[in-house]
Every structure is written in C-alpha cells, then in structure tokens.
Amino acid sequence: MLELLVLPLVLSLVSQQEPPPLLPPDIARTMEQGPKGVLAVRVVQGTGGGPAVGGEEVEVTLFHRDSPVKQIKTTVGEQGLVMLTDLPVAIGIRPLVRVKHAGVVYQDTGPVMDATNSRASMDVTVYEVTDEQPAWKVLMRHVAAAQSPAGIDVAETLVVENPADQTWMGGATDAQGRRATVTVDLPPGASSIQLIQGFHGWCCTAYETGQLRVQMPLMPGKATYRFAYEVPTPDGSADLRTAAPVGVDHAAYFVPESASLRDVTLLRESGTDTMGDQRVRMLQAQGVPGGQAVGLVLTGLNPPPPAAPAPGGISSSVLVGGVIIAIVAGVIIGVWIGARKRSGASP
C-alpha cells in the first residue's frame, strides 16, 4: 500500500475531468459541497526486465451504487504514480481504474471510499506484450446441463491460466485481421451461444466450425469465462464430448440423473445430488491432455411437455433450467476449490 502522506511531488496531475452524467439534484449537490477524498494509484510493471512505466493514459470512473457518477482522464507520472484529488466521497464511491500500456488496457477496482475512508491507494499491474504463445492451460472446465423443450441447455465455466509475465496477443490473424488466444471446442450442433462473463461481446469473440475463439489478448494470471448454449436432441440423445487445444487440469459434468449415459470418455462418476427440484449426476476427470476429448453422450432424453408461460412471457421450464444451471455453476466451483485446497494447490 502506498503511504499517501509521503508521496513525492512527481505525481501526474489530472488533465481532464468530464462532467458527470445527469444526476438527481440532491446527489449532485452532495458531491459538490460534501467532503473530498484522495486516491493514489501506483502503476506497476509486471514483466521482468520491462521498461519503467510512465506517460500511459489513465481513465478513472467513479461508481455510486453501481452507477457512474464521474469520469477522470489523466496520465501516469514519474515512478508510475497518479494522484487523484477532490473525489466526492460524501456519497460513497468505488473507483474503476483503466490504464493503457503497450496497446492493451488493464483495469482494476479500487476500495470503497466515503467520508470515513477518504484516503486510499491501489496498484494496477501492466505487462509487456508478446507474439509468442505461452504455456497456457485450462485449470478447470465445468459443464452444467439441464433438459428443456428445445433439447439440452448447457452452461460452462472455464478458468484458464497464462503462467508467463507477458500478455499474449494471439495466434495468426484470420480473414478479419483478428487474433485468437483462448479456443475451445463445443459439442456438435451447439447453437444459441450466450457470452455471460469474461468476454467483450461478439466484437472480440468468434464461433466457427464448432470452436469458440476469444479474440482478446491473454494477460498473465487467471481468467474466467462463462458461457451458455443449446444442444439439440432430435433422436433423444446429446453428445457433450469436447476437447481443448491445451491440457485441462480438472473437468466436471453435472447432468440430469434421469438421462442414460453412453460413451463416457475419461470421466468417473462422483455421486448425485438435488439441485432445485431436479436430481443431477456429477462426473469428473483430472489431467486431460490437450486435444483429448472428454465428456459423454446423454441418451433417453424425452422432451418435457411445453409449460405454461411464467410472468413476463418466459416459460417455467426455461426458468427451472436457468436456476439449475446457476446453482450447479456455483456448486462445481466450490467443489473444485475445495478439492484444490485439500490437495495443497492454490485455486
């Protein structure tokens, strides 16, 4: 943590403050007349032997109850330090700091600041970029499946790790000039793909020939991606076997207990449990080699009859499926973290 009282005088000054969005008069008045706070941001070079930071563009957005109330733009000064003063802490704010370094934007969220905690500090680590693919891997790939009238609804949680200290810009460019980093195969016939977490939307993601491709730089450390899709079951079966181009430390599948299993690949059963009003079966695999398919085929799937629409025009079966997937996603993450702790590994 930086000591705010002894900061050197080489900090950059705020170069531009954009007016806040339209706010209720009482909040705007409180921001203007209330106490002010100070935030010190230290930008850290995370690449060993990398050049000293300085001069990078910085954008700070202040949030109050998840709504932006002020935006500040400045640059990094000497020693990688930025001092932000006159922050409206009377209403309670949380800063989101973005730093652009070597063409890549790094961001982090600072501490909550208010009248009783008006002085704070935070670090934002930046890295040099590389075109050389690191030894990235999938720490966990967890799959939750629930039956719906359209077939099988699937939600996945994917945690990947870049162990290097440089940001990988991606492989060869495609026809649109984009470069992919994280790529994974999806089951045959997967459709209606929804990007839930960790993506920047379809502007930076592609799905072609059964493969989901993240077209964003892969920063050092861990990154989590959550997405969902549908798998059709025209003959009462669904093939959920997939592969990743790199090794997968831990794979887990939660599937309806009522379904029969066929062609179980690399998975071992780990019991059953009740999720909502459904019984589900869990299967797991450890140390899946890169390029090796893992998963199973669900059979004996008889589509449930269409349910009456719930309030808002959403069918109750879709709501049930969504709830199951959400519960399972949380459970399997907890199971994985617990297993890692018991084995002495860090999650």
Residue 267's CATH number? 2.60.40
Alpha carbon 255 to its chain's center: 23
Q: What is the pLDDT of residue 273?
A: 86
Mean pLDDT along residues 270-298? 92
0.85 cut: is pTM over it?
no
Separation CA 172–CA 195 (nearest Å):
23
Is 132 part of any domain?
no
pLDDT in tens, 117-175: 999 999 999 999 999 999 999 999 999 999 888 889 999 999 999 999 999 999 999 88
Does 311 score more than 50 pLDDT? Answer: no
Q: Are residues 240 and 290 in the same domain?
A: yes
Contact 64, 87 (CB under 8 A): no
Does 337 score more than 80 pLDDT? Answer: no
pLDDT in tens, 4-38: 333 333 333 344 444 455 678 888 888 889 999 99
Q: Are residues 234 and 310 in the same domain?
A: yes
Q: Are residues 330 and 223 in the same domain?
A: yes
The model's confidence at residue 100, banded by pLDDT at 50, 70 and 90, is very high
Contact 87, 113 (CB under 8 A): yes
The domain containing residue 283 runs over which residues? 137-342
Q: Are residues 275 and 302 in the same domain?
A: yes
Q: What is the pLDDT of residue 39?
A: 97
Separation CA 164–CA 162 (nearest Å):
6
Separation CA 142–CA 337 (nearest Å):
12
